[in-house]
Amino acid sequence: MRKILLLFVTSIISPLVYCQDYLEQFNEFFQEGDTLNQRLVLENWEKDDPKDPELYTCYFNYHFNNSKKEVLALTNEEPDGESLIISDSLNDTVGFLGGKVHYDQIEFERSIDKINKGIELYPNRLDMRFGKIYAFGQVEDWRRFTDEIIVTVNYSVVNNNEWTWTNNENTKTDANDFLLSIQDYQLQLYNTRDVDLLLDMREIGLAILKHYPDHIESLSDISITYLIVGENDKAIEYLLRAEKLNPQDYIVLGNIAEAYKRQGDVNKAIEYYKKILLYGDDQSREYAEGQLEDLKDN
């Protein structure tokens, strides 16, 4: 994600010259992988300016990066990146030998402790909050991932989305931009294909609707969590709310049509596929035409 990555490539602009020097030094040693000098810079920096916000993002990067370990592992499925194929005497593939990433828990928790201190001092720093969420996603700690998203959503109302970024510069992020970023996290949960995490998606969606009741994407997200498990009535309830907000949203219309189709209400499904013919793009209209043909044949 673009915004999260900004946390890991910290800006070198700072109002204080010595902080700029520390930041430049840390970034240089970070790129070189020189952890000893990274640590020395951080310790000296902390003595000189213990409340500098960039100190906490750098401490976070230092510990998080150190927590990441890669080991060789034998697996049945082909891993990402380069790997060796293990074959038997008949030259049939029986496994793969490749790199596997795991995270040292002690170092990881140190990174979280540091960014928590940064957030406590600078609660409007969105890069710190997003960096923390990113870290939980990397270690697949989905409970804390979800909790931190909800905490951030709740705080967006407190500060009226007046977020800052590196060097406490205003992000000029409005509610729509903020919620678009949160939507990326919803997609991350969905892409795990873990049915249990549908509840986390739903929890986030409900938290958003509490403060932003007209957020169509959250209404749609919640509906998907019900569609997947066959609770079509509940899915339709949220989708119809979304349709009222934007009657021409063809993605919502398509999901309504699918929900009615799964429910066995052919007439309603046809009604909504016809709406897609009016408001959809070329691809969605083509799909709707195919669905209408299938439903007419039935």
* Amino acid letter, 207: A
- Provide the residue-wise pLDDT of the chain in tens; the chain has 298 residues: 444 444 444 433 334 444 569 999 999 999 999 999 999 999 999 999 999 999 999 999 999 999 998 765 556 666 665 656 666 556 666 565 555 778 999 999 999 999 999 999 999 999 999 999 999 999 999 999 999 999 999 999 999 999 999 988 998 889 999 999 999 999 999 999 999 999 999 999 999 999 999 999 999 999 999 999 999 999 999 999 999 999 999 999 999 999 999 999 999 999 999 999 999 999 999 999 999 999 987 6
Is 220 a member of any domain? yes
Count of domains observed in the chain: 1
Burial 179-209 (b: 16+ CB within 10 A, else e): bebbbebbebbbeeeeeebbebbbbbbebbb
Is 229 a member of any domain? yes
The enclosing domain of 221 has a CATH number of 1.25.40.10
Distances, alpha carbon 158 to alpha carbons 123, 215, 254, in Å: 10, 18, 35
Please choose, from the candidates 238, 290, 248, the residue with its C-alpha nearest in 3D space to the C-alpha of residue 269: 290
Write out the residue range of the structural domain in which residue 293 sits. 214-298
Query: Which strands, in side-by-side order, build the sheet including 93-103?
Result: 68-75, 93-103, 83-87
Instruction: Give me the count of residues in the chain.
Output: 298
- Report how far Cα 72 is from the mean position of its chain's Cα atoms: 28
Is 284 a member of any domain? yes
Backbone dihedral angles phi then psi of residue 59, each to the nearest 5 degrees: -60, -45
